[in-house]
Amino acid sequence: MCVHCGALERHRLVRLFLERQTDVLTAPGKRFLHIAPEPCESYIRRRVGNGYVSADLFDPTVDVRMDVTRIDYPDESFDVIYCSHVLEHVSDDRRALREFRRVLSPRGIALVVVPLTAPETFEDPTIIDPRDRLLAFGQDDHVRRYGPDFVDRLEESGFAVRVVRAADVASAEEIATMGLSGSGEIFLGTRTS
């Protein structure tokens, strides 16, 4: 964690990706939906400007209170959706992913980050006690552990997927200097026709 801003490895990876492989932070007029933003990610709001919308179900400081399984925006409302470490908390993540696709513009991108902590995705909706969830899913408010097969869930929801890793956006020296070795992956989704 950065001692100055609190950014974790995954936040630094997303920032590098946005800066180096997209025009999201420089092109005017982008409509950007940021789900459950963390304070260290406020630079996105500053760079995107008026098109930026922060959303969360519980956080009172966001722009919009939102349940990601029922997004109250019309079809094709956003050019970018950024959702990091949220879906492992959502009971019906497949419905949320379908909603992401619905509100994403035809040429838009969805940046989805989930912790991969299992060889394949494991969920059991009968596990509801926080202590049991902690044992089963590694955190008492998680409802599943994701594996690399998370790509399948995105594809089933109507996305073409590219997995972006630190080595795709940074040199080996930068990965070491920026502490990106544990940054995980960005699941980059674009709408299929």
Task: Please tell us whether the domain made up of 9-114+149-180 is placed in CATH 3.40.50.800.
Answer: no
pLDDT digits (tens, 9 = 90+) for 14-57: 888 998 989 898 888 999 999 998 876 788 888 899 999 999 99
**Sequence spans of domains, the chain:** 9-114+149-180
Phi, psi of 75 (to 5 degrees): -55, 145
Helix (H) or strand (E) holding 38: none
* Tens place of pLDDT per residue across the chain (193 aa): 555 565 657 778 888 899 898 989 888 899 999 999 887 678 888 889 999 999 999 999 999 999 999 999 999 999 999 999 999 999 999 999 999 999 999 999 999 999 999 999 999 999 999 999 999 999 999 999 999 999 999 999 999 999 999 889 888 898 888 778 777 898 999 998 7
**Alpha-carbon dihedral sign for residues 20, 25, 27, 32:** positive
139 close to 133: Cβ distance less than 8 angstroms: yes
pTM: 0.92
Q: How far is CA 95 from CA 29, 67, 76, in A?
A: 28, 11, 16
Q: Residues 32, 80: contact at Cβ < 8 Å?
A: yes
DSSP 66-125: -BTTB--S-TT-EEEEEEES-GGG-TTHHHHHHHHHHHEEEEEEEEEE--B-SSS-EE-T
